[in-house]
Amino acid sequence: MTKPIDTSIYTAVTDAIRTEAQRILSEGQVSAIVGYAAARRKGSAQPIVISQPDDAAKLIFTPACVNNLAVYLTKAKKEIPKSGKIGIVVKGCDLKALSGLMGESQLKREDIYLIGVPCAGVLASTVQPATELTTDSIAPKCTECDAHLPTGCDFVPAQTPVAADLEKKYAAEITRLEALTPAERWAYWKEQFSKCIKCYACRQVCPFCFCEQCLCDRNKPQMVDTTPRPAGNTAWHIVRAMHLAGRCAGCAECERVCPMDIPLNLLNRKMAKELKELYDHEAGFEVLDKGPLNMFTEKDDQSFIK
Amino acid sequence: MHSEKQKHTFEPKIIAFVCTWCTYAGADLAGTSRMQYPSNVRVLKFPCTGRIDPVFILKAFQQGADGVLVSGCHPGDCHYIAGNFHARRRFAVFRKLLEFVGVDLNRLQFSWVSAAEGGKWVEVVTDLTEKVRAMGPMTEFKELAMEEQWSGAIDTPELKEAYNQI
Amino acid sequence: MSRIGVFICHCGENISRTVDVERVAQEVGKLPGVAFSTDYKYMCSDPGQNLLKKAIQDQKLSHIVVAACSPRMHEKTFRKAVEAAGLNPFLCEMANIREHCSWVHENKEEATVKAVEIVGMMVERVKKNRVLPTITVPVTKRALVIGGGIAGIQAALDIADCGHEVILVEREPSIGGHMAQLSETFPTLDCSQCIMTPKMVDVANHPRIKLYTYSEIELVEGYIGNFQVTIKRKARSVNEDTCTGCGVCMEKCPVRKIPNKFDCNLGMRPAIYVPFPQAVPNTPVIDRENCIKFKTGKCGLCQKVCGPGAVDYEQEDSLVVEAVGAIVVATGFDLYTIDEKPKGSAIKGYGEFGHGKIPDVIDGMTFERLASASGPTGGKILRPSDGREPKQIVFIQCIGSRAREKGISYCSKVCCMYTAKHTMLYHHKVHDGQAYVFFMDARTPGKSYDEFWRRSIEEEEAVYIRGMVSRLYQKGDKIVVMGSDIAVGVQVEIEADMVVLATAVQPQKGADLLAQKLGISYDKYNFYSEAHAKLRPVECATAGIYLAGACQGPKDIPETVGQASAAAAKVMTLFSKDKLEREPIVARVKESGCVGCFACKKVCAYGAVEEKEIRDRQGNLIKTVAFVNPGVCAGCGTCQATCPSKCVELDGYTDEQVIAMIEAL
Amino acid sequence: MKKKKMIISQETMDVDFVRKVEALSGTSVRRCFQCGKCSAGCPMGTFMEHPPNRVVRLLQLGQWQRVLAGRSIWYCASCETCSTRCPNKVHLASIMDALRKLSWDAEGASKESYVQLANKLFLQNIRTYGRQYEMRLAAVFNVKSGQFLKDLMLGPKLFAKGKLKVFHSKNKNMSEIEKIFTRIEEMRKKGEAL
Amino acid sequence: MSKPNIMEYSYYPGCSLHASAGEYDLSTRELFKVLGIGLTEVPDWFCCGATPAHNVDELLSLSLCAKNLELADKVEGDLAVACAACFSRLKTTQHVLAESDVKRKQVEKAIDAPLKLEGKVKHLLEILATDLGLERLAAAVNKPLSGLKVACYYGCLLTRPTDVTNLDCVEAPTIMERVIEAAGATTVPWSHRMECCGANFTLSRPGVVIQLTNAILDSAKAAGADCIMVGCPLCHGNLDIRQKEIEGVYNVEYALPVFYLTQLVGLATGLGPDKLGLDAMIVNPTPLLKEKQLL
Amino acid sequence: MQKFISEQNLNTLLDTLIAAGTRVVAPRMNAGTPLYEPLTSAAEMITDQLPRRSAKEAFFPVCEDIMTYEKEGQKVTVTDIDPSRFPETVLVGVRPCDAVAIPVLDAVFSWDYKDEFFLERRKKTTIVGLACTTADDACFCTAVGLSPDETKGSDLFLTPLEDGGYDCRTYSEKGETLVNRYPQLFSEPTGSKAVPLAEPQIEKFDLKKVKAWLDENFENPDWDSIATRCVGCGACAFVCPACHCFDIVDEGTEKAGKRRKNWDACGFSKFTNHASGHNPRDQQPKRYRNRIMHKFKYYDDKFGQTLCSGCGRCIRVCPVGIDIAQIVEEINKKDI
Mean pLDDT check: name the lowest of A163-167, C32-36, C642-646, D84-88.
A163-167
Sign of CA dihedral C421, C426, C432, C435: negative
- Read off the pLDDT band of F283 (50, 70, 90): confident
pLDDT value, residue C347: 52
| Sequence spans of domains, chain E | 7-123, 142-291
Q: How far is B42 from chain C (nearest CA, A)?
A: 7
Q: Which of C398, C469, C486 sits opposite D34 (nearest CB)?
A: C486
The total number of structural domains that make up chain B: 1
| Sequence spans of domains, chain D | 15-105, 113-189
pLDDT digits (tens, 9 = 90+) for D55-67: 999 999 988 888 9
Assign residue E136 a region: left if phi > 0, alpha if psi is -120 to 50, beta otherwise? alpha
What value does the mean pLDDT take over residues F66-80?
Answer: 88
Q: How far is B64 from chain F (nearest CA, A)?
A: 13
The total number of structural domains that make up chain F: 1
Q: What part of A 42-81 touches F (C-beta under 8 Å)?
A: 42, 44-49, 67, 71-72, 75-76, 79-80
- Say if residues F27 and F42 touch (Cβ distance below 8 Å): no
With CA atoms as reference, the chain C residue closest to D39 would be C484
Query: Is the CB of residue A189 less than 8 Å away from at least one CB of chain B?
Result: yes
- Contacts of residue C620, defined as CB under 8 A and 6 or more positions apart, other chains included, come to none
Q: Up-side HSE of residue D134: CA atoms within 13 Å toward CB?
A: 22
Cα distance between residue B159 and residue B137, in whole Å: 20
3-state SS assignment for residue E227: strand
- pTM score: 0.70
Cα distance between residue E175 and residue E172, in whole Å: 10
Query: Is the CB of residue A195 less than 8 Å away from at least one CB of chain F?
Result: yes
Query: Is the CB of residue C477 less than 8 Å away from at least one CB of chain E?
Result: no
Between the alpha carbon of residue C203 and those of residues A132, C157, C161, C176, the distances in Å are 84, 7, 10, 10
Q: Which of D80, D119, D180 sits opposite E52 (nearest CB)?
A: D119
Sign of CA dihedral E173, E179, E181, E182: positive
Instruction: Give the architecture (CATH level 2) of E142-291.
Output: 3-Layer(aba) Sandwich (3.40)
The count of residues in chain A is 306
Between the alpha carbon of residue C465 and those of residues A199, A212, C364, C439, D87, the distances in Å are 78, 70, 18, 6, 18
Assign residue C489 a region: left if phi > 0, alpha if psi is -120 to 50, beta otherwise? left
Cα distance between residue E13 and residue C106, in whole Å: 84
- Contacts of residue C191, defined as CB under 8 A and 6 or more positions apart, other chains included, come to C183, C184, C185, C373
Q: How far is C334 from chain A (nearest CA, A)?
A: 27
- Say if residues F161 and F195 touch (Cβ distance below 8 Å): yes
Q: What percent of chain A has pLDDT over 70?
A: 97
Q: For residue C80, how many other CB atoms are within 10 A of its CB?
A: 14
- Contacts of residue A126, defined as CB under 8 A and 6 or more positions apart, other chains included, come to A261
Closest by alpha carbon to E166, among E216, E135, E130, E138? E130
Q: Is the pLDDT reported for residue F26 higher than 60?
A: yes
Q: For residue C316, how many other CB atoms are within 10 A of its CB?
A: 9
Element (H, E) at C553: none
Classify burial at F186, counting beta carbons within 10 Å of its beta carbon; exposed 0-12, middle 13-18, buried 19 or more.
buried
Count how many pairs of residues, chain B against chain C, have C-beta atoms within 8 Å: 126
Q: Is the pLDDT reported for residue E3 higher than 50?
A: no
**Buried b / exposed e along C97-112 (16+ C-beta atoms within 10 A):** bbbbbbbbbbbbebbb
Q: What part of C 495-534 touches B (C-beta under 8 Å)?
A: 521, 531, 533
With CA atoms as reference, the chain F residue closest to B152 would be F64
Residue type present at position A18:
R
Q: What is the CATH number of domain E7-123?
A: 1.20.1050.140
- Say if residues F100 and F131 touch (Cβ distance below 8 Å): no
pLDDT digits (tens, 9 = 90+) for B83-132: 999 999 999 999 999 999 999 999 999 999 988 889 999 999 999 999 99
pLDDT value, residue A84: 77
Q: Which CATH fold would you assign to the domain C338-506?
A: FAD/NAD(P)-binding domain (3.50.50)
The dihedrals phi and psi of C398, each to the nearest 5 degrees, come to 60, 45
* CATH class given for the domain over C583-664: alpha beta
- Say if residues E277 and E22 touch (Cβ distance below 8 Å): yes
Cα distance between residue C649 and residue C663, in whole Å: 19
Q: What is the mean pLDDT of chain D?
A: 86
Q: How far is E174 from chain C (nearest CA, A)?
A: 12
- Say if residues A18 and A57 touch (Cβ distance below 8 Å): yes
Element (H, E) at E248: helix E243-250
Q: How far is A117 from chain F (nearest CA, A)?
A: 19
Determine the distance from the C-alpha atom of residue C321 to the mean position of all C-alpha atoms in its chain, rounded to a whole number: 22
Show the DSSP H helices in chain F as ranges.
Answer: 7-19, 96-99, 101-109, 116-124, 173-181, 207-216, 222-227, 235-239, 284-293, 299-303, 313-317, 324-333
- Say if residues C283 and C240 touch (Cβ distance below 8 Å): yes
pLDDT value, residue B66: 96
DSSP-derived letter for residue C342 is -
More confident residue, C533 or F155: F155
Q: Which residues of E touch D104 (CB under 8 A)?
A: 56-57
Query: Is the CB of residue C398 less than 8 Å away from at least one CB of chain D?
Result: yes
Sign of CA dihedral C641, C642, C643, C647: negative
Cα distance between residue B84 and residue A296, in whole Å: 10
Q: What is the CATH number of domain C4-127?
A: 3.40.50
**How large is the ipTM?**
0.69
Interchain pair A239, B55: CB under 8 A: yes
Query: Is the CB of residue C112 less than 8 Å away from at least one CB of chain B?
Result: no
Edge-to-edge strand list for the sheet holding E37-41: E37-41, E7-12, E78-81, E121-123
Closest by alpha carbon to F210, among F326, F74, F43? F326
Let me know if chains E and D touch, i.e. at least 3 Cβ pairs under 8 angstroms. yes
Q: How far is C663 from chain F (nearest CA, A)?
A: 6
pLDDT value, residue B4: 47
Closest by alpha carbon to C597, among C633, C646, C663? C646
Between the alpha carbon of residue E12 and those of residues C266, E51, E86, E121, the distances in Å are 51, 17, 8, 10
| Sequence spans of domains, chain A | 9-143, 169-279
**Strand positions, DSSP E, C224-316:** 226-233, 258-259, 268-269, 272-273, 285-286
- Read off the pLDDT band of B148 (50, 70, 90): confident
Q: For residue C314, how many other CB atoms are within 10 A of its CB?
A: 6
What value does the mean pLDDT take over residues D142-171?
Answer: 72
pLDDT value, residue B1: 44
Helix-, strand-, coil-residue percentages of chain C, each rounded to 5? 30, 25, 45
Interchain pair D87, C471: CB under 8 A: no
Pairing of the two strands F63-72 and F256-263: antiparallel
Cα distance between residue E151 and residue A272, in whole Å: 57
Interchain pair A227, F63: CB under 8 A: yes
Q: Which residues of D touch E53 (CB under 8 A)?
A: 122-123, 126
3-state SS assignment for residue F104: helix
**Buried b / exposed e along A110-147 (16+ C-beta atoms within 10 A):** eebbbbbbbbbbbbbbebbbebebbbebbbbbbbbbeb
3-state SS assignment for residue B8: coil
Cα first-last separation, chain A: 49
pLDDT digits (tens, 9 = 90+) for F184-217: 999 999 889 999 999 988 899 999 999 999 999 9
Q: How far is F65 from chain B (nearest CA, A)?
A: 7
pLDDT digits (tens, 9 = 90+) for C552-567: 999 999 999 999 999 9
Q: What part of B 2-61 touches F (C-beta under 8 Å)?
A: none
Q: Which residues of B touch C96 (CB under 8 A)?
A: 28, 43
3-state SS assignment for residue A231: helix
Cα distance between residue D134 and residue B38, in whole Å: 79
- One CATH from 3.30.300.30, 3.30.450.20, 1.10.1060.10, 3.40.50.2300 for D15-105: 1.10.1060.10
Which of the residues in chain C have pLDDT under 50? 344-346
- Asked if residue A221 has a cis previous peptide bond (ω within 30° of 0), the answer is yes
Cα distance between residue B138 and residue D51, in whole Å: 63
Q: Which residues of F touch A203 (CB under 8 A)?
A: 233
- Say if residues F46 and F14 touch (Cβ distance below 8 Å): no
pLDDT value, residue B2: 47
DSSP-derived letter for residue D170 is P
Cα distance between residue C517 and residue A54, in whole Å: 51
Mean pLDDT check: name the lowest of C40-44, D124-128, E138-142.
D124-128
The dihedrals phi and psi of B45, each to the nearest 5 degrees, come to -95, 135
